[in-house]
Chains A and B, each alone.
Chain A
Amino acid sequence: MISTLLGMSARGGVMIAVVALLRAALQHRVRRDVWLAAWAIAALRLLAPFSLRSPVSIYNLLRPAAAQVIPVAPVSVQAAIPGAPAVRGPEPLAILWLVGALALALVCLCLHLRSLRRYRFSVPCDPGMALPPRVRVRRLEGLSAPLTYGLFRPVILLPANLAEDSQDLTHILQHELAHIRHWDVGWKLLMLVTLAVHWFNPLVWGMTWLVSQDLEMRCDAEAVRALGDGAKKAYAWTLIRAEEQKLASFLQPGFAHSGTAGRIRALARGRSSAVCSAVLAVLLCLLLLFCFATERVLASPPPAADPAPAQVIAPAPIPAAVPEETPEPVSVPEPEEAAVPEPAPVLIPADEPEPEPEPVPEPEPEPVPEAEPGPEPEAAVEFKQLETLPLAVYAPGAMSMAEGETITVSVGTGWVELYSDNPGAVQAGGVYDAGGVFVSSFTAGREGSANIYYNQDGAWLLFAAVSVHP
């Protein structure tokens, strides 16, 4: 699960970098909506845990080995006995992430609630202009800069020292009304969720800042447009005056707290054509959607889905030989708590996983139809010398997994790509390098059946036929 998250985060980061670069070059030539559309796609990429494969994906350029070797520190690779059970407890990285995400969400929530408590003491204020029905304008003593809060019943909050029927008031109201019209509080919420999930990724923090900037600048542009010609200069002065008093707040898009210098620059330089903006927006979104949000296609199409045990080459007798050949890292003892072994078929040793694999007497070539369907979610299958040996040390041809179960396959040196012809039932995972040993995995999804293939010299060979039960 952590690997999926890291993958999403990395790909999202790439997208953010691309958009940020384009924005740096072109931002004053096109409307802000272009960048906001792009940021929406980036947020989607960051939050959606799946992706489609596409031949135009940028990730097709990556060499598979380079793309897929991810150093993972606490990979628990079981010893050589096939089916030796070990409980995979919650990964420590997952816990760390969860703590970070919750902490961030909690802090933001507390800050927001504290602000709301303060805003209760506001008093009504006459806006001096017509407003949309649900919008209220109020004044709060001690407030340093205007802001808007509330998603469905928005309230524009003004500092108490703002003179009624002053020019500043009109400018500010137009700006805040633009925020309300575009549901910018929703944007802020989206950024908060994205940040909570990807708090470890500095590029996502950068995106949050850039999104804030773009939201403010879009509302500036709209306010100036609504105020009429010649209002730009006066509006800029309002910005400068408001800059003197800043109120930092995360969930409330406000007037003065987002890079005022940049906003004034945007006002001064902005000369945007609606047509150019639309064209660029469409092109950019297509580019992001098809090239950066997708996965690379696989090496070559696998053979037809046909669970044919006959295809599996009878594995050579391994267990007795393996313990000696096992490289050091492989026999790392299971760090998590051991499972309570079920009354297991012969294949699985009935006690705690030990660092030294016991020489289990049974010869694995005998076709044991059902592997351990019990609570032990992890079993490791080891093989070496991929070029000469097949993968199927497991019961040839058939394997049964429970939903959610993950099987880790240690592949020795080199790399292997696993492919499942039914990713709904079994999802094949990437390759990980755990200190010199390559590990691959596949996880059972919902109930179903699938064939797992591995790629050897460009040809797809059947590794196992898996049936997944709930």
Chain B
Amino acid sequence: MRLAETEYRVMKQIWANEGITAKELAEALRVRVGWSKTTTYTVISRCMQKNYIRREDPKFHCYSLISREQVAEAETDALISNNFDDRPDLLVASLLGRKKLTAAQMAELYALVEKMDDEA
């Protein structure tokens, strides 16, 4: 699932601090992005409606119901679909070609591909 920017900011805080109370969340976001308490609470309730967040009382603790990986996957799929014509290899080629990867990362990638080859 793809998140709006507001929801993403809230989820980032929760992923970093599972079980954070809504009050602490509001304070953290006030510092980071300048949102008022009402604004944060509104976004939290939107996230709850969409089942991104689970609420635990008595103190309004927030737990995530979706994972970082799920969100990243959805975004990547959209990226590939919109910008690379549904071809993941074009995305990788783009990353390689634009020298966005360090030598260590490239080695890691290479090893991954090798492993997939073996499994396949």
**Which residues of A line the B interface, CB within 8 A?**
120-121, 123-124, 139, 141, 160
* Interface of A (DSSP majority class): loop
For residue B117, CB closer than 8 A to chain A, the reply is no
By the criterion CB–CB under 8 Å, are B5 and A141 in contact?
yes
Decide if B34 touches A141 in the complex (CB within 8 Å): no
Q: How far is the CB of A369 from chain B (nearest CB, A)?
A: 68
Question: A160: which B residues are within 8 A, CB to CB?
Answer: 5
The residue of chain A having its C-beta at the shortest distance from the C-beta of B6 within the complex is A121
Contacts of B6 in A (CB 8 A): 121, 123, 141
Interface set, chain B 1-47, CB cutoff 8 A to A? 4-6, 9, 33-36, 38-39, 43
B33 and A124 contact, CB distance less than 8 A: yes
- List 4 tightest A-B contacts by C-beta distance, closest first: A141-B5, A120-B39, A123-B33, A121-B6
B residues whose Cβ falls under 8 Å from a Cβ of A:
4-6, 9, 33-36, 38-39, 43
Chain B residues in 8 Å Cβ range of A123: 5-6, 9, 33
Among B5, B9, B43, max chain A CB count under 10 A is at: B5
Most buried by B among A123, A139, A160: A123
A217 to B6, CA, bound (A): 34
Known: A120-B35, A141-B6. 9 other contacts (CB 8 A): A120-B36, A120-B38, A121-B35, A121-B43, A123-B5, A123-B6, A123-B9, A124-B33, A160-B5
A141-B33 Cα distance, complex, nearest whole Å: 14
Q: In the complex, what distance in Å separates the CA atom of A141 from the CA atom of B46?
A: 15
Q: Beyond A141-B4, A141-B5, A141-B6, is A124–B43 a contact (Cβ under 8 Å)?
A: no
Query: Can you give 16 contacting A-B residue pairs, CB < 8 Å?
Result: A120-B35, A120-B36, A120-B38, A121-B6, A121-B35, A121-B39, A121-B43, A123-B6, A123-B9, A123-B33, A124-B34, A139-B5, A141-B4, A141-B5, A141-B6, A160-B5
A139→B33 CA distance, assembly (Å) = 11
Which chain B residues lie closer than 8 Å to A120 at the CB level? 35-36, 38-39
Bound Cα distance from A160 to B34, whole angstroms = 17
User: Which residues of B are found within 8 Å of A124, using beta-carbon distances?
Assistant: 33-34
In the complex the two chains form, what is the Cα distance from A413 to B38 in whole Å?
69
Q: Distance (Å) between the CB of B43 and the closest chain A CB?
A: 7
- Report the bound CA distance from A160 to B3 in whole Å: 14
Query: Which of A120, A141, A160 has the most CB atoms of chain B within a 10 A radius of its CB?
Result: A120
A233 to B15, CA, bound (A): 46
Least CB distance, B93 to chain A, in whole angstroms: 22
Q: Which residues of A contact B39 (CB under 8 A)?
A: 120-121
Min Cβ gap A227→B in Å is 29
CB distance from B88 to the nearest CB of A (A): 23
CA distance A212 to B39 in the complex (A): 32
Q: Which residues of A contact B33 (CB under 8 A)?
A: 123-124
* Min C-beta distance of B101 to chain A, whole Å: 22
Q: Which residue of B lies closest to A120 (CB)?
A: B39
List B contacts of A121 (CB < 8 A): 6, 35, 39, 43
| CA distance in complex: A443, B8 (Å) | 67
Tell me the smallest distance from the CB of A412 to a CB of chain B, in Å. 68
Q: Which residue of A lies closest to B36 (CB)?
A: A120
Give Cα A141 to B43, complex, Å. 14
Q: How far is the CB of A147 from chain B (nearest CB, A)?
A: 18
Q: When chains A and B are docked, how far (Å) is the Cα of A124 from the Cα of B30?
A: 11
Report Cα–Cα, A121/B38, bound state, in Å: 10
Chain A nearest Cβ from B82, distance in angstroms: 12
A21 to chain B minimum Cβ distance, whole angstroms, is 48
Q: How far is the CB of B45 from chain A (nearest CB, A)?
A: 13
Q: Considering only CB atoms, which chain B residue lies closest to A140 in the complex?
A: B5
Residues of B within 8 A of A139 (CB): 5
- Smallest Cβ-Cβ distance to A138: which chain B residue: B34
Nearest residue in B to A136 (C-beta to C-beta)? B34
Which residues from chain A contact B4 at a C-beta distance below 8 Å?
141
Closest to A142 in B: B4
Tell me the bound Cα distance from A141 to B7 in angstroms.
11
Q: Shortest distance in angstroms between B19's beta carbon and chain A's nearest beta carbon? A: 24
Give complex CA distance A120, B6 in Å: 10
B107 to chain A, nearest CB (A): 31
CA distance A141 to B36 in the complex (A): 17
CB distance from B12 to the nearest CB of A (A): 12
Q: Which chain A residues border B9 with CB–CB below 8 Å?
A: 123
